[in-house]
């Protein structure tokens, strides 16, 4: 008897819970401002729930009644509505679409969800109808606002592209030209980092306000992003010609820009110009061409203007092609090492070798390091390339040591980006330990560009490398940012005189004065000197006469594969 009472109580409790859940579900549906339609495929039965009458004035009792919905919406939304109502035809589980109701301003979101059984047959369908009129209205306002740049008040990139497209279409019909000026503020990142983003934003605003003066019916000015602006000119001539606008910009840039803090800021811009139809056939291509040319203007020293020509585009596309190939080569480690010997000047004895990377693409074409290394430094692949060069060179060098036991130095080039990696010193130590190489047998070659950013931090790193016994060589001395003031503070062992000096040392008196002064100074500081690019007997004899310690160049030895160095070692041992 007790057991039966317990069952009755349990069923009563369950019924109360079900009634509560049903009441809660009804309350949710009725207060949601939505309407719901439930369809059971097996019974071909329909149940409508919640605010049905708010949306529709007709009942739906079976699947065939779904066609009634078509008459409720504007004709252009009939097809997307049909697709949303019958998604089981495509085996889709859920979809949502917005439709405009006929004879009203109401927008309705129709969302359909279907449950399938284990044999992928539809069993149940739920369709939700939601009034999204207010949302769509706000969205339309946002879309409108999205055409304008908040920071500068200029047109943004989206609107500029749209308007430029209209310019181009109009120019096609009227046989006119359209010009694009792509402007980039020089060194803006440095200003933004140094002065702060608030000041950076004000600089963008002030310069944007100045450019807005050029806006007219046939001239559109936009702020693309960050420090990039674009000017589109329809049928450029007279005061609207590119040259005329550039002269006005140049004249204004001769004066500083005054900030709200009363600080005076000098600005300069690099500008690329491309014109329809000579450079491109549509708006996006025209912008891309102008951007490519702007980068050329930057490379030419900043603060100037560059006009599009086909050679610039060819060079750019070639660099892009090389960059794509380079990424594949890095992934596959498709490189090889060559080594250029270095000789003591006095007796022409082998002093060491400089490791040099070589790359042949899949077509067997040799791509020069001075072409692909700058690209690698820009896209970040220089780090894995540098790591591979170091390990492969040390591996080969370890093989020479084990085979010949001949004492030579291995010189390794280190890029500024690779050198600045936080784990650089530790990775060098690990490689030396892995191949059982003494640090004193390794010379790391750095360029002056490494010192630009943070001289003290770089020097501290050099000291740490020297403390473990690694030699440091300063490469390409005299071609970059040479400063005797910092040279005396660098912990280096060797200074390499750049090939550009060696090339004219026999024929130019001024070059001889410079080289003799460098060698005298360096010897006083206690460094070794290496002359690069020695290609003739006359150059060698002159450098020998002025006591240059080491010679490197085609005269005594070209870069060669590892087996070529082995022959040199065998010759030294003979």
Read off the pLDDT of residues 50-85 as tens digits, 9 standing for 90 and up: 888 889 989 999 988 999 999 999 888 999 999 999
Average pLDDT for 265-284: 92
The pLDDT of residue 15 is 64
User: Cα dihedral angle (186, 187, 193, 197), rounded to 10 degrees?
Assistant: 0
- Give the CA distances from residue 363 to residues 315, 319, 321, 328, 367, in Å, rounded to whole numbers and listed in that order: 19, 16, 13, 13, 11
Under the banding of pLDDT at 50, 70 and 90, the label for residue 226 is confident
Residue 341 pLDDT grade (very low, low, confident, very high; cuts 50, 70, 90):
very high
- Predicted local distance difference test score (pLDDT) of residue 448: 73
Residue 478 has pLDDT above 90, yes or no: no
Residue 271 binned pLDDT confidence (cut-offs 50, 70, 90): very high
Q: How confident is the model at residue 170 (pLDDT cuts 50, 70, 90)?
A: very high
At 485 the pLDDT is 59
User: Confidence band (pLDDT; 50, 70, 90) for 299?
Assistant: confident
Please compute the mean of the pLDDT values over residues 357-379 and round it to a whole number. 81
CA 553/CA 531 separation, integer angstroms:
8
pLDDT in tens, 90-107: 888 999 999 989 877 889
Segment of 22-31, 51-60, 131-140, 542-551 carrying the highest mean pLDDT: 542-551
Q: How far is CA 323 from the centre of its chain?
A: 12
Query: Looking at the whole model, is its pTM more than 0.85?
Result: no
- pLDDT of 350 above 90: yes
Q: Is the pLDDT of residue 413 over 80?
A: yes
Looking at residue 535, its pLDDT comes to 95
| Res 548 pLDDT > 90 | yes
How much is the pLDDT for 46?
93
CA distance 298 to 99: 50
Output the pLDDT for position 21. Answer: 54
State residue 247's pLDDT score. 93
Averaged pLDDT of the chain: 86
Across 190-194, 405-409, 566-570, least confident range:
190-194
Please give the average per-residue pLDDT across 412-420, as a whole number: 87
Confidence (pLDDT) at 315: 74
- pLDDT for residue 452 is more than 70: no
Task: Give the whole-number percent of the chain exceeding pLDDT 90.
Answer: 51
Q: Are 184 and 227 in contact (CB under 8 A)?
A: yes
pLDDT for the residue 6: 65
Comparison of pLDDT for 213 and 239, the residue scoring more: 213
The larger pLDDT score, comparing residue 477 to residue 210, is at: 210
The pLDDT tens digits of the residues spanning 485-538 come to: 567 778 889 999 889 899 999 999 999 998 998 899 888 888 999 999 999 999
Classify residue 190 as left (phi > 0), alpha (psi -120 to 50) or beta.
alpha
Mean pLDDT throughout 327-339?
83
Q: CB within 8 A of 156, min separation 6: which ones? A: 146, 147, 148, 149, 222, 223, 224
Report the pLDDT value the prediction gives residue 346, as an integer from 0 to 100. 93
Residue 343 has a pLDDT of 96
Question: How far does Cα 40 stand from its chain's mean position?
Answer: 53
**Confidence grade of residue 348 (pLDDT, cut at 50, 70, 90):** very high
- Which pLDDT value is given to residue 141? 63
The pLDDT value recorded for residue 126 is 93
Least confident of 343-347, 358-362, 427-431: 358-362
At 556 the pLDDT is: 94
What is the predicted pLDDT for the residue at 442? 95
Task: Look at residue 18 and tell me whether its pLDDT is greater than 60.
Answer: no
End-to-end CA gap in the chain: 113
Give residue 132's pLDDT band: very low, low, confident or very high (50, 70, 90): confident
What is each CA distance from 255 to 92, 152, 261, 301, in whole angstroms? Answer: 64, 21, 17, 20
pLDDT at 300: 79
**Residue 88 pLDDT grade (very low, low, confident, very high; cuts 50, 70, 90):** very high
Helix or strand (DSSP H, E) at 220: strand 219-225
């Amino acid at each position: 008897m007790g057991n039966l009472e317990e069952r009755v109580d349990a069923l009563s409790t369950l019924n109360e819970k079900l009634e509560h859940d049903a009441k809660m579900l009804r309350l949710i549906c009725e207060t949601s401002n939505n309407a719901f339609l439930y369809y059971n495929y097996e019974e071909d039965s329909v149940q409508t729930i919640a605010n049905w009458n708010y949306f529709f004035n007709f009942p739906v009792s079976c699947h065939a009644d779904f066609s009634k919905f078509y008459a409720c919406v504007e004709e252009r939304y009939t097809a997307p509505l049909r697709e949303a109502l019958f998604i089981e035809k495509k085996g889709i589980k859920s979809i949502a679409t917005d439709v405009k109701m006929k004879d009203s301003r109401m927008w309705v979101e129709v969302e359909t969800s279907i449950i399938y059984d284990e044999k992928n047959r539809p069993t149940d369908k739920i369709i939700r109808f939601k009034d999204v009129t207010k949302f769509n209205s706000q969205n339309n306002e946002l879309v409108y606002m999205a055409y304008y740049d908040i920071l500068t008040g200029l047109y943004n990139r989206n609107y500029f592209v749209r308007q430029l497209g209209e310019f181009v279409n109009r120019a096609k019909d009227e046989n006119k030209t359209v010009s694009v000026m792509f402007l980039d503020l020089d060194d803006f990142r440095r200003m933004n980092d140094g002065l702060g983003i608030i000041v950076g934003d004000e600089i963008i605003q002030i310069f944007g306000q100045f450019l807005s003066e050029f806006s007219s019916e046939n001239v559109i000015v936009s702020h693309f992003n960050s420090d990039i602006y674009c000017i589109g000119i329809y049928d450029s001539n007279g005061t609207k010609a590119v040259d005329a606008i550039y002269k006005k910009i140049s004249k204004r840039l001769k004066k500083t820009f005054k900030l709200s803090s009363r600080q005076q800021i000098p600005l300069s811009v690099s500008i690329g110009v491309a014109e329809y139809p000579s450079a491109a056939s549509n708006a996006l291509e025209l912008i891309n061409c102008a951007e490519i040319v702007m980068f050329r203007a930057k490379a030419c020293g900043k603060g100037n203007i560059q006009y599009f020509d086909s050679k610039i585009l060819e060079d750019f596309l070639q660099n892009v092609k090389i960059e794509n190939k380079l990424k594949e080569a890095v992934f596959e480690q498709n490189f090889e090492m060559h080594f250029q010997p270095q000789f003591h000047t006095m007796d022409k004895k082998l002093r060491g070798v400089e490791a040099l990377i070589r790359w042949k693409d899949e077509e067997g074409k040799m791509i020069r390091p001075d072409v692909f290394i700058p690209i690698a430094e820009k896209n970040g692949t220089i780090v894995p390339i540098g790591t591979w060069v170091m390990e492969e060179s040390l591996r080969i060098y370890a093989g020479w040591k084990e085979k010949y036991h001949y004492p030579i130095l291995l010189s390794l080039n280190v890029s500024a980006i690779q050198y600045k990696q936080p784990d650089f010193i530790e990775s060098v130590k690990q490689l030396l330990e892995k191949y059982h190489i003494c640090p004193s047998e390794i010379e790391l070659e750095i360029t002056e560009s490494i010192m630009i950013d943070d001289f003290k931090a770089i020097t501290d790193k050099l000291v740490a490398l020297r403390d473990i016994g690694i030699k440091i060589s300063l490469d390409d001395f005299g071609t970059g940012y040479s400063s005797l003031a910092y040279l005396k503070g660098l912990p280096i062992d060797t200074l390499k005189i750049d090939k550009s000096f060696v090339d004219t040392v026999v024929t130019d008196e001024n070059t001889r004065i410079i080289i003799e002064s460098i060698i005298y100074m360096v010897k006083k500081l206690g460094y070794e000197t290496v002359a690069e690019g020695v290609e003739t007997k006359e150059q060698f004899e002159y450098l020998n006469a002025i006591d240059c310690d080491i010679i490197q160049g085609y005269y005594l030895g070209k870069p060669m594969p590892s087996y070529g160095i082995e022959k040199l070692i065998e010759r030294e041992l003979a």
